[in-house]
Homo-oligomer: A and B are copies of this chain.
Amino acid sequence: MEFFEDLEVGARDEIGSHTFTAEEIKRFAEAFDPQPFHLDEDAAAKSHFGGLLASGWHTQAVWMKLNVRYWQRRWREREAAGQSLPKVGPSPGFDELKWLRPVYAGDTISFVNEVIGKKLSRSMPGWGLVTFKMTGRNQSGEEAISFVGHVFVESHEKPEP
């Protein structure tokens, strides 16, 4: 995240891509989503999905990994350039999480965050609430996952009296 005042509605961050292997799909499913179509190719082929696919929560978690790494990289660059780093607060939550298409073994999902709203906090001086939409598209450009997230970011702006 940038400082609140540097974030513009419409700004897009391409945070990265990930190819989901059958092995990692099954490993995540064994730990967190043990349904047959996430665990076994044969069972998945017989299901209405027609093939092994990632748990929706796996796709979501991979976004989180790429997002954290993206911002860690961006912040290292800021530090290297002698710039200060914004404080980022805990997320007040997520909305409208949708799995729009299956993520099959071998699919590559590319994740983009887009700022869709920002509002200076009146109750917490020095903070602003940023709303963004994440979209993950597969190698054919089709939307596979999206959600709306919210995060508090440090601000130098002063609320109007």
Contacts and interface: CB of A to CB of B under 8 A. Distances in A.
So how many copies of this chain end up in the complex?
2
Contacts of A68: 33-35
Given A57-B57, A57-B60, A91-B56, A65 B96 contact: no
Interface residues of A, number: 26
Interface in A83-107: 90-99
Contacts of A45: none
Interface string A68-80: 1100100000000
Contacts of A97: 93-95, 97
Interface of A: 31-35, 55-57, 60-62, 64-65, 68-69, 72, 90-99
